[in-house]
Amino acid sequence: MNNISIIDSLNDAQRLAVSAPNRAMLILAGAGSGKTRVLVHRIGWQIQVEGLSIHNILAVTFTNKAAKEMRGRVEDLLNISAKAMWIGTFHGLAHRLLRRHAKQAKLPDTFQVMDSDDQFRVIKRLVKSLNIDDTKWPPKQVMWFINAQKDEGIRAKHMVESGDVYQRTMLQLYKAYEEICNRSGLVDFAELLLRAHELLRDNEDLLTFYQDRFKQVHVDEFQDTNTIQYAWLRLLTEGKDNLFVVGDDDQSIYGWRGAKIENIYSFQSHYPNHQVIKLEQNYRSTSNILKSANALIANNDARMGKELWTDSGDGELISLYTAFNEQDEAYFVVEKIRKWVSEGGSRQDVAILYRSNAQSRQFEEKLMTTRTPYRVYGGLRFFERMEIKNALAYLRVMSNHHDDASFERVINTPTRGIGTKTIDEIRLLAREQELSLWQAAITLISQGQMTARASNALKIFLNLIKSLGEEANDKELFEKVKLIVEKSGLVELYKKEKGEKGEARIENLEELANAARSFDFDEANEEKLNELDMFLAHAALESGDMQGDDYEDCVQLMTLHSAKGLEFKLVFLVGLEEGLFPSQQSADDVARLEEERRLCYVGITRAMEQLYITHAESRRLYGKETYPRPSRFLKEIPAEFLQEIRIRANVNRPVTASTSRPRTSVQQVGTYKMGQRVSHVKFGEGIVLQMEGEGAQERVQINFQDVGLKWLMLSYAKLQVL
């Protein structure tokens, strides 16, 4: 391959970006303008033309999926193996640095990565253990506070205590949380980034080493970086201006989790020699779709300014459908999909995009009844499932006895007679003497002040973990997993669970052993660290692709957020109503409204050929009928690009049908009559209100004069008819 062919297939702007001299570059890449293409070819250019080795390249993305895709495309372009190239997510790369230099990062070699669920549990427990009212200080909010500080690079020690109760309490919790994490060797997602930043900042030799190594640093989705991520990038490229970032300010939709569009602006002042290149030619959508998107986003004030264009034709107008209610909306969409498929369209090219997950249900129901295969994105991923997290927690405690979060998770799962009281005692002792829960448990046993029963149960648990550790010691990773699954009692626990749920859980546990077997240790670990720890980190950092095993031709259902980066021939943008989209919570904040508008912009620009936008005149929300106004975004799309679809003449508005749900039949004829006055030995006099069940299961609900409503089993309660 020669120089020409690397840039041969590119348009002028793309070519300019790819072949630019080595200096700070800001590529403003609109939707569908070939952003990944530019990144991949830029890397190719660095290697082919500038003569860099793959070891000199650093490429950062936000998702594992994007990282994987980029690596694959680099390999295809250059026809080489890019295994050794540092392409990864911010978190993945930070993790790699911390493992390599754990000591300098002041972390134990065996530190563990917590996912957000782990973090939440730790914080929840912390709030409780400090006797702080968790209704006034919800753990979720505490977690949000702590993460927000870390995203800004602020440690507890940097914060000055003010008289403010809120700030004081949060700070107290932040401090205590840091202590727990340090003691247990736990690192949450935000900590990975913060710690990696501090590692480079405080170790000059390391920083110089990596600065020299990475001759070119590439960043995807730059508009989504937060403060600490950007600070980390700046450290690595300090004084060298070798930062190549690609982003789109109009697609910044993660402000709510700390992303700073401002980074795009600061980039320009931090790197005065930078060059900006706009990619505005779109290769995805028809002109009508693009013009609508342009018109919509023009209503935002905070933008750098960019207008997408295409040289493909106008295409069809955007269809707007006003539904009676959410049922009708779903009916309309599914009928259109059926038509599309019957005309030879592929279901995979169709997406239904909504603002919030709760909206998926109505579409699922309609798709189900018409037997249209579909797939919903989002939801629990493999490594986030309860049974998997439990098994992993066993592995963690085995690997590190002082991992309090995992210890607590499994100490009584499955139940082994260690109740809240015992656990509270362990926690108390641990807190008082600053021990890990494991150490506290041992101390507690040796003090011999517990009941024999509790002490025995605890001993059994500790011995289980110890003996599992010994037995697993020289075994292969997947055998360790198998051992845990078998001996922990989890399988027995889930066997008892009724229905198919338990079965599925057991299958998942088996799948976990398979995952361990196929875990590519060498790939994930150039540093030859403990295989089990690497596997656990892998589980936290890549919670597993969504059910990727489904190869059937499916209609795609997802939120607008998860649709970013994807494209579909036929797109349905549903629920365009005030309060829903834009969301109620964003209604009175200009900045948040602009983010909602960008979200809408993302939605529109997903469509390649046809776009349907729908809204409903009435919608059942939180169990109540609402009559929302059409979304303001609808008015922002010029009428010339819209065509209104006429409401069908025969409307099947489900007046009573939808509201009447099947009721469980209530046994009307029983021993007692409704309204019958009865008397109970303990509860006194009352009136029979309801009855259900038969024979030994027969129950009555009675409104007692003194104690109010009660359900009583007839076979136990001795009632006297008055």
SS3 572: strand
Checking 334-339 for CB contacts under 8 A at 24+ apart, the result is: 334/363, 334/366, 334/367, 334/370, 334/372, 336/572, 336/612, 337/367, 337/372, 337/555, 337/570, 337/572, 338/370, 338/372
Give the distance, in angstroms, between the CA of residue 231 and the centroid of all CA atoms in the same chain.
24
Tally the C-alpha atoms within 13 A of residue 610's C-alpha that lie toward its C-beta: 15
User: From the CB of residue 693, how many other CB atoms can be counted at a distance below 10 Å?
Assistant: 15
Cβ distance 330 to 575 under 8 Å?
no
Can you give the C-alpha Rg of the chain in angstroms?
Answer: 30
Residue 292 or 543: which CB sits closer to DNA? 543
Mark whether 61 is an active-site residue.
no
**Annotated catalytic residue within 151, 191, 220, 329:** 220
DSSP 666: P
Q: Please give the Cα distance from 234 to 33 (Å, whole number).
A: 26
243, containing H or E segment: strand 243-247
Q: How far is the CB of 91 from DNA (least distance, A)?
A: 3
Q: How far is the CB of 43 from DNA (least distance, A)?
A: 20
Which single residue is written with the structure tokens 């997602």? Answer: 189
**Residues belonging to the chain:** 722
Residue 399 or 422: which CB sits closer to DNA? 422
User: From the CB of residue 413, how many other CB atoms can be counted at a distance below 10 Å?
Assistant: 18
Using left for φ > 0, alpha for ψ between -120 and 50, and beta otherwise, residue 395 falls in: alpha
SS3 169: helix
Q: How far is the CB of 98 from DNA (least distance, A)?
A: 13
Residue 125 or 274: which CB sits closer to DNA? 125
**Annotated catalytic residue within 606, 610, 614, 676:** 606
**Annotated catalytic residue within 188, 221, 387, 404:** 221
Q: How far is the CB of 623 from DNA (least distance, A)?
A: 3
Partner residues linked to 309 by β-bridges: 281
Q: Please give the Cα distance from 499 to 494 (Å, whole number).
A: 10
Mark whether 36 is an active-site residue.
yes
Q: How far is the CB of 355 from DNA (least distance, A)?
A: 6
Residue 134 or 152: which CB sits closer to DNA? 134
**Exposed e or buried b for every residue in 317-331, given b needs 16+ CB within 10 A?**
bbbbbbbbbbbbbbb
User: From the CB of residue 127, how many other CB atoms can be counted at a distance below 10 Å?
Assistant: 23
Among 380, 381, 365, 376, CA closest to 563? 376
Query: Residue 294: which residues within 8 A CB-CB, separation 6 or more?
Result: 307, 308
Residues in touch with DNA (CB under 7 A): 62-65, 89, 91-92, 115-116, 134, 189, 253, 256-257, 355-358, 378, 412, 415-420, 541-543, 558-559, 561-562, 583, 585-586, 620, 622-623, 709, 711
At residue 570, φ and ψ (nearest 5 deg) are -120, 120
- Taking each helix axis as running N to C, give the angle between helix 139-151 and helix 116-129, from 0 to 180 degrees, rounded to the nearest 10: 120
The gap between the terminal CA atoms of the chain, to the nearest Å, is 98
Q: How far is the CB of 701 from DNA (least distance, A)?
A: 9
Q: How far is the CB of 493 from DNA (least distance, A)?
A: 9
Residue 115 or 609: which CB sits closer to DNA? 115
Mark whether 221 is an active-site residue.
yes
Q: Please give the Cα distance from 138 to 133 (Å, whole number).
A: 8
Residue 60 or 105: which CB sits closer to DNA? 60
Q: How far is the CB of 2 from DNA (least distance, A)?
A: 35
- Helix, strand, coil shares, percent, the chain, to 5: 50, 15, 35
Strands 112-113 and 186-187: parallel
Q: How far is the CB of 414 from DNA (least distance, A)?
A: 7
Residue 379 or 638: which CB sits closer to DNA? 379
Cβ distance 155 to 178 under 8 Å?
yes
Cβ distance 26 to 245 under 8 Å?
yes
**Annotated catalytic residue within 251, 310, 359, 610:** 251
Q: How far is the CB of 640 from DNA (least distance, A)?
A: 30
Q: How far is the CB of 677 from DNA (least distance, A)?
A: 21
Structure tokens at 600: 């809408």
Q: Please give the Cα distance from 156 to 174 (Å, whole number).
A: 6
For 404-453, the DSSP string reads: HHHHHHHTTSS--S--HHHHHHHHHHHHHHT--HHHHHHHHHHHT-S-HH
Q: How far is the CB of 459 from DNA (least distance, A)?
A: 14
Strands 374-376 and 555-559: parallel
Residue 357 or 439: which CB sits closer to DNA? 357
**Annotated catalytic residue within 14, 15, 35, 676:** 35
Q: Please give the Cα distance from 546 to 628 (Å, whole number).
A: 33
Mark whether 168 is an active-site residue.
no
Q: How far is the CB of 354 from DNA (least distance, A)?
A: 8
Cβ distance 220 to 59 under 8 Å?
yes
Query: Residue 139: which residues within 8 A CB-CB, separation 6 or more?
Result: 120, 123, 124, 127
Tally the C-alpha atoms within 13 A of residue 175's C-alpha that lie toward its C-beta: 12
Q: Please give the Cα distance from 176 to 179 (Å, whole number).
A: 5
Residue 62 or 86: which CB sits closer to DNA? 62
Mark whether 110 is an active-site residue.
no
Catalytic residue ranges: 35-36, 220-221, 251, 606
